[in-house]
Structure 1
Amino acid sequence: MAGAVRTVLSGVLSRRVHIAASSCCRLPVASSTQLYRCRSTGAPEEVVAMEMFRLETTSAPTLMDIGTRRIFQEEHDIYRASARRFWAEEVLPNHTQYEKDGQVSREVWLKAGEQGLLGVNTPEELGGIGADVLYSAVMWEEQSYSNCSGPGFALHTDIVMPYIAKYGSRDQHEKFLPDMTAGRKIGAIAMTEPGAGSDLQGVRTNARKDGDDWILNGSKVFITNGWMADVTIVVAITNPQAKSAAHGISLFLVEDGVEGFKKGRKLDKIGLKAQDTAELFFDDVRLPPSALLGQENRGFVYLMQELPQERLLIADMGIASSEFMFEETRNYVKERKAFGKTVSRLQTIQHKLAEIKTDICVGRAFLDQCLELHNQGRLDSNTASMAKFWASDLQNRVATQCLQMHGGWGYMWEYPIAKAFVDSRVQPIYGGSNEIMKELIARNIVN
């Protein structure tokens, strides 16, 4: 594991991780001595000897007793403890204010950078942490377990930074990646347009050559991190005469403050209230040759290569959110009384909980397989599409059923299930709508 990660996480296992339960975040707690135990005696054993009997993670499995997750190693468990403490101590206490502001603070980005939680799987020699994608999965899951949807760390670290790391020049690496890992610069990616959502070939934003420079015109909408972003990857048409838009798309790095680049209003969404989502406008924005990311007219290829990770991210957060909602609901029905007893004693509630848990366990098994494949560089676009479609669809079913079991109180914003319910609704939409996912899956089947 990279030295930077070791520095950040050293000593995590040497102390108990204490996280206070709250109405927004009820997380189990475990000490380092609970990480490895012999099944027969329960006594702590050496990691190597007991690897086959590993518990799921250090400080909490997946919030559910769904069996051993064998994709993580000890270093991931250490990292999870650090990530969990960060969400509980640095984000959760401030999240209500973030929701009112429509964005998180710059300070929380800097703190995330200081603790090694950004740029996790960007190579160390390029200014990142240099860990594998499972470290990112830990962050995705812990964000969902905290029920704090505001910080756009995942998009920044696992969608924007990989484009720069893989396709950028050395100058672009040096200019952006170290600052993005430190939280000093925030990244966004602008694909969606008012008239082009999941259809990337319908992009109308364009860039034309003017000498050595590029002149960028167009608009984008629904851009996560768009308001706060210091650098935005913009998808634009550069060859309108190409035989298809897929052969004429390029990517550009547009920095905040450049003349002609304007940010519109922060969009007022029904959910993800603390996550800034913006409109972006480009009016004769002059960009130097160094703003081109990768090769001219190769943008569509780059997008297709990187979308599987984005869809896997959405899927894993969907399953983790489902786990969170299940635990919130299980705790609630064991306390809520009706007809002289807790509603958890009603067969209807028991059967519904049984159905939900089974669905989540099936989903988690599939997602862990996808995570392992991706960590090995073997996750294909078709499988990522299945994961995104299935997990986000499940997340919404779980949200509806769990809110229903809360009764009228589930409709009150003070209850975590209400926030989780509205936040879940966007999951089948962004990253490519679930209808598009089915089209991609079906195309692979029939062809």
Structure 2
Amino acid sequence: MSARAGYEPEHHAVREVARGFVTSVIEPRHEEWEAAHGIDRSLFTEAGTLGLLGFSVPEEHGGPGVEDYRYNAVLIDEVARSGAAAEAIAFSLQNDVVLPYLTDLTTQEQKARWLPGVVSGETILGIAMTEPGTGSDLTGIRTSAVRDGDSYVVNGAKTFISNGQNGDLFVVAVRTSPDRHGGLSLLVVDADTPGFQRGRNLDKIGLHAQDTSELSFTDMRVPVENLLGSEGDGFGHLVHNLPQERLSLSVGAVAAAEGVFARTIEYVRDRKAFGSPVSEFQNTRFVLAQISTELDLARTYLEDCIAEHVSGQLSPARAARLKLWTTELQVSVADRCLQLHGGYGYMREYPVSRAFVDARIQTIYGGTSEIMKTIIAKDLEL
């Protein structure tokens, strides 16, 4: 990405900081966090010290006040390329997915309360949309929030919540009226609120270092001043932010695929079979040539969408096309690279095995591939 048009020296400078952070902080501890099934909170505070969090946060609240998604992109690119998928998701949640709700929908008083901790990394963010039985259907949300004086009384449950164990502050989608679309609202909930309960850290086949949890709310009283925007506008806000979320998933998908591809080239050059390096076999050359071409196309497509997003022109349908293409490609690349490793590819000690299982969720969260196709078909007026 760094050699492509559209990036300025300041973006490259952030990339160098991010690359150094990956080398000095993430790579030495990734195995430890995988085994612990969770990232240490120090990851966020150390990133905050280096200025890698909250690029869009205004200066008066501790951030650089830079409204430029390209900074977010170079961070996710470097982390995902290294194979640290869980850490890439953690940063994407902090900078790309949840933060826009706290910068775009908040009052000055709310900004002063929440944003400084986000920038420093002392406040870890999460978003609670998905519920048991609802999946990608946002209109099926049943967690209720009933107004009682100066508070909302919240009852319900959420699942598959990233940063669920580590998170301090959650944007929670709740139902404030029976209206299917107009009855959703967004509340910011502190994890220390009475009635807020973290469930188990879910045992996934991949992304072991990323804590993914169930959350439940029992008669949880959330102050009215924690409402984001206006009551009943939650669905519109959620849909509005989805293109950037899907763009960020695509950045991670392409970078992760490029990373496993580069490591596979090194492997086939060193690995010998039948007396020759695996790289000399025609099948190996053809597979890698095909992957190289597909990745070049994906990178070009991604950079074009990033440029559109920076200029405010990325449509939900194009973001859906990008997410569909890049995440499916990531799964395919990891699969073919694992095959080129032979039996060693199935061993956890080889990074390609983790790239394979970590990739699989990409076509599911942030909207499944089937949902992406539905959005695209609607755009075609089918």
Which range, TM-score by smaller chain?
Answer: over 0.9
| 1:210 CA drift (Å) | 1.2
Give 1:150-299 correspondences, 5 Å limit. 150-151=86-87, 152-240=90-178, 242=179, 245-299=180-234
1:186-235 CA-to-partner distances (Å, cap 9, x unmatched) read: 00000001111111011111101112311101000000011111110100
What residue identity is the alignment partner of 2:217? Answer: F
Kindly provide the amino acid, as one letter, of the partner of residue 88 in structure 1: T
Aligned to 1:315: 250
Specify the code of the residue in structure 1 equivalent to 2:12.
D
Report the 3-state secondary structure (helix = DSSP H, G, I; strand = E; otherwise coil) of the residue aligned with 2:380. Answer: helix
In the TM superposition, residue 130 of structure 1 has moved relative to its aligned partner by: 2.0
Q: What residue is the counterpart of 2:315 in the other structure? A: 380
2:81 and 2:256 in contact (8 A); partners too? yes
Matched, 1:342 2:277: yes
Equivalent pair of 1:205/1:236 in contact (CA under 8 Å): yes
Cα deviations by residue, 1:22-48 (Å, 9 ceiling, x for unpaired): xxxxxxxxxxxxxxxxxxxxxxxxxxx
Higher helix share: 2
After TM superposition, list the pairs within 5 Å mapping 1:101-112 onto structure 2.
Answer: 101-112=36-47
Q: Is the CA contact (8 Å cut-off) linking 1:206 and 1:236 kept in structure 2?
A: yes
2:305 pairs with one of 370, 378, 383:
370
CA contact (8 A) 1:127 1:173 kept: no
TM-score normalised to structure 1 length: 0.83
| Match of residue 137 from structure 1 | 73
Structure 1 CA distance for aligned equivalents of residues 368 and 182 of structure 2: 23
Q: 1:148 aligns with which of 70, 81, 84?
A: 84
Q: Deviations over 1:421-442 (max 9, x none)?
A: 1100000000011100000000
Structure 1 residues 123 and 377, CA gap change in structure 2 (3 angstroms): farther
Measured on the aligned residues, the alpha-carbon RMSD in Å equals 1.1
Q: SS state of the match for residue 288, structure 2?
A: helix
Q: Which amino acid aligns with 1:434?
A: S
For the 8 Å contact 1:308–1:379, the answer to whether it is kept is yes
C-alpha displacement at 1:279, in angstroms? 0.5
C-alpha distance in 1 between matches for 2:65 and 2:345: 42
Residue 402 of structure 1 pairs with residue 337 of structure 2: yes
CA distance in 2, matches of 1:430, 1:402: 23
Q: Secondary structure at the match of 1:386?
A: helix
The one-letter code of the counterpart of 1:136 is: N
Secondary structure of 1:251 counterpart: strand
The answer (yes or no) to whether the contact 1:150–1:273 under 8 Å persists in 2 is: yes
Q: Which has the higher contact order (CA 8 A, sep 6+)?
A: 2
Shift of 1:149: 2.2
Matched residues in 2 for 1:123 and 1:398: separation? 39
2:16 aligned residue (81, 84, 88): 81
Equivalent residues of 1:113, 1:182 under 8 A apart: yes
Percent of matched pairs sharing the same residue: 44
Report the CA distance between 1:171 and its aligned residue: 1.4
- 1:277, distance to aligned residue in structure 2 (A): 0.7
How do residues 38-53 of structure 1 correspond to structure 2 at under 5 angstroms?
Answer: none
Deviation of 1:103 (Å): 1.1
Correspondence for 1:32:
none
CA distance in 1, matches of 2:203, 2:101: 28
Distance in 2 of aligned mates of 1:322 and 1:149: 11
In the alignment, residue 134 of structure 1 is paired with which amino acid? R
Query: Structure 1: which 5+ residue stretches go unaligned?
Result: 1-55, 58-67
Measure how far apart 1:126 and its partner are: 4.3
| CA distance in structure 2 between the aligned counterparts of 1:341 and 1:323, rounded to whole angstroms | 25
Counterparts of 2:376 and 2:272 in 1: how far apart (Å)?
A: 45
Aligned residues: 379
TM-score normalised per structure 2:
0.97
Q: Residue in 2 aligned with 1:71?
A: 6
* CA deviation map 1:387-434 (0-9, x unaligned): 100000000000100000000001111111111111000000000111
Between the aligned partners of 1:124 and 1:159, the Cα distance in structure 2 is: 20
Identify the match of residue 423 of structure 1 among 352, 358, 362.
358
Give 1:183's aligned amino acid.
G
After TM superposition, give the deviation of residue 446 of structure 1 in Å. Answer: 1.9
Give the corresponding residue for 1:120.
55
- Does the 8 A contact of 1:121 with 1:135 survive in 2? no
Unaligned stretches of 5+ in structure 2? Answer: none
Distance 1:95 1:321 in 2: 15
Indicate if the aligned counterparts of 2:338 and 2:352 stay in contact, CA closer than 8 A.
Answer: yes
Please state how far the C-alpha of 1:100 moved relative to its aligned partner: 1.4
Q: 1:121–1:136: 8 Å Cα contact kept in structure 2? A: no
- Asked if the contact 2:57/2:65 (under 8 Å) is kept, the reply is yes
Q: Deviations over 1:271-293 (max 9, x none)?
A: 11001111000001011111111
